[in-house]
Amino acid sequence: MNTLPQQLANGLFLGSMYGLIAIGYTMVYGIVQLINFAHGEIFMTGGFGALTVYLYLPDGTSMWIALPAMLLGGVLVATLFALGAERFAYRPLRGAPVLAPLITAIGLSLALQQAVFNWYPDAKSARVFPQLPFGPYHLGSLRIQSGDVFLIIVAPLCMTALALFVRGSRTGRAMQATAQDPDTAQLMGIDTNRMIATAFAIGGVFAGIAGVAFGLKYGSVQYDMGFQAGLHAFTAAVLGGIGNVYGAMLGGLVLGLAEAMATAYIANIPGMEQLGGQGWASVWAFVLLILVLLLRPQGLLGERVADRA
């Protein structure tokens, strides 16, 4: 049986999710040159926010009603955590040596994980996430699950909206100005603190949506789901060229496809039989990252650092 179409599809779905999360890394890095290592946990809180909303809905509520409410809940929770992190953890450290916010980010990441682990009811192991009531669909040899349908519809919509917002809106332009030259942006009358908060909020919105998508795709959410997903999404952002919104989308897709291809086909190469399968997915993702950093350090769509001066 030809598995290639299925693997391509899997890569596309996975990559769409990476792309959604990667937006948060890249927007924040673009505007304050901070790697928000707590962003994976923001994504996780999105998943749990949506689950919480679902648990409060009356039994037997149709998923068609529940899903919008869950999305709203997930987005709201993730955005609030993202904004809270910016306001209370990172803003007081603006202007501090770069290690300070970086270590803060790692600490915040652990704190959020442990908070959910300890205080969210029954969250010490995976919590079952509701599923969309359709699918899986079969297209020839292709099998597409409901969670993947959600991703393939929502991810392009989000990305298009973001691209239009950044390029076309007054706030989007002000964010670009803040990213390129914060002092001069203030001279234009731009409230740069608000633009930075907006970047965190957009990252939170996308992470919230991705958190719901993760739950729908894998059937559960878990307190540490942000670690792996966050690391991969961060890789995607660097791969695409960190700071570049289109790069995050592209990086996500490339990484998803590469992972799917590698896990499916590496083992067919003579001498590499041991290196295939899901367990090696992260390894191949990081091998790809290392290759890109060696051959094109600015990432696929990144600009040369000299251009930023």
Partner 1 sequence: MTALLEVEDLKVAYGKIEAVKGISFSVEAGQVVTLIGTNGAGKTTTLRTLSGLLKPSSGKIVFDGRPLNGVPAHKIVALGLAHSPEGRHIFPRLTIAENLQLGAFLRKDKPGIEKDIQRAYDLFPILGERRKQAAGTLSGGEQQMLAMGRALMSQPKLLMLDEPSMGLSPIMMQKIMATIAELKAQGTTILLVEQNAQAALSLADRGHVMEIGTIVLSGTGRDLLHDESVRKAYLGED
Least Cβ distance, residue 289 to partner 1 (angstroms): 25
Residue 170 makes contact with partner 1 by CB under 8 A = yes
Angstrom distances, CA of residue 11 to CA of 80, 124, 264, 279: 30, 29, 11, 16
d(CA 181, CA 88): 23
Q: Which position among 176, 197, 227, 282 is part of the footprint of partner 1 (CB under 8 A)?
A: 176
What is the total count of residues that contact partner 1 (CB under 8 A)? 20
**Which residue lies nearer to partner 1 by CB, 58 or 168?**
168
Chosen residue from 9, 85, 190, 239 binding partner 1 by CB under 8 A: 190
Could you say which of 52, 131, 186, 282 contacts partner 1 (CB under 8 A)? 186
Among 52, 181, 219, 282, the residue binding partner 1 under the rule CB under 8 A is 181
- Closest to partner 1 by CB, 124 vs 308, is 308
184 binds partner 1 (CB under 8 A): yes
Q: Which of 28, 174, 207, 221 binds partner 1 (CB under 8 A)?
A: 174
Rule CB under 8 A: say whether 188 interacts with partner 1: yes
Give the one residue of 121, 140, 189, 271 binding partner 1; rule: CB under 8 A: 189
Count of beta carbons in the 10 Å neighbourhood of residue 102:
15
**Using CB under 8 A, which of 1, 187, 295, 305 touches partner 1?**
187
Closer residue to partner 1 (CB): 30 or 256: 30
User: Residue 141 interacts with partner 1 (CB under 8 A)?
Assistant: no
Position of tokens 């994504």?
A: 43
Pick the binder of partner 1 from 2, 58, 122, 307 (CB under 8 A). Answer: 307
Looking up tokens 């239009």 gives: 164
For partner 1, which residue of 6, 26, 192, 222 counts as binding (CB under 8 A)?
192
Q: Does 304 bind partner 1 (CB under 8 A)?
A: no
Among residues 191, 285, 257, the alpha carbon closest in space to that of 6 is found at 257
Q: Which stretch binds partner 1 (CB under 8 A): 5-13, 69-77, 177-185, 286-294?
A: 177-185
d(CA 161, CA 292): 28
Return the number of the residue (122 or 183) whose C-beta is nearest partner 1: 183
Residue 191 engages partner 1 in binding (rule: CB under 8 A) = yes
Judged by the rule CB under 8 A, the positions of this chain that interact with partner 1 are 170, 173-174, 176-177, 180-181, 183-192, 303, 307-308
